[in-house]
Amino acid sequence: MANFRIGHGYDIHPLVPERPLVLGGVKFDTDYGLVGHSDADVVTHAVCDALLGAAGLPDIGHFFPNTDAAFKDINSQVLLKKVTAELNQRGYAIGNVDVSVIAEKPRLINRLGEMKMVLAASMGISTEDIGIKATTNEGIDDLGRGLGIAAHAVVLVEKPGA
């Protein structure tokens, strides 16, 4: 009998001028980016937290604290690979990942396929096992005014034979 588990992750960071913008491991050509200790990739961080939650593990900050200089400006795909390895070590396999990105800017539709490829490579799964959508906050609150970007992720993991 298989043991299926669902996890949810969420991340949000404010936008600032003159910082690189990375979403889902893809760098955007902008003059603004997200503030954070690492590369502040909200998409990847939400996926990491969803995976960790599905396995009943502590959140991303427990494994990669923002007080540790080793993670300063780190590429979040490195973190996602470590999270995936942590789950694999515990016998979990990733079934699928679904992500919603909330951003007024930049326009993401043409880069979603790239994000899927990068995320799939980091998790060792097929792009067919990843859904990723972009939406706006319709001008409501700070996200809607373009002051930040957020992401929600939901994952299904399986522990075969559990």
**Whole-prediction pTM:** 0.96
Q: Where are the domains of the chain?
A: 3-159
Q: Amino acid letter at 77?
A: Q
pLDDT tens for residues 32-91? 999 999 999 999 999 999 999 999 999 999 999 888 888 888 999 999 999 999 999 999
Order the strands of the 32-34 sheet from edge to edge: 32-34, 3-17, 148-159, 93-102, 130-135
Class at the top of the CATH hierarchy for domain 3-159:
alpha beta
pLDDT tens for residues 118-133? 999 999 999 999 999 9
- Token pair, residue 113, equals 């396929």
Identify the CA nearest to 7 among candidates 51, 59, 47. 51
Q: CA–CA separation, 21 vs 54, rounded Å?
A: 28
Helix-helix angle 112-123:76-89, to 10 degrees:
40
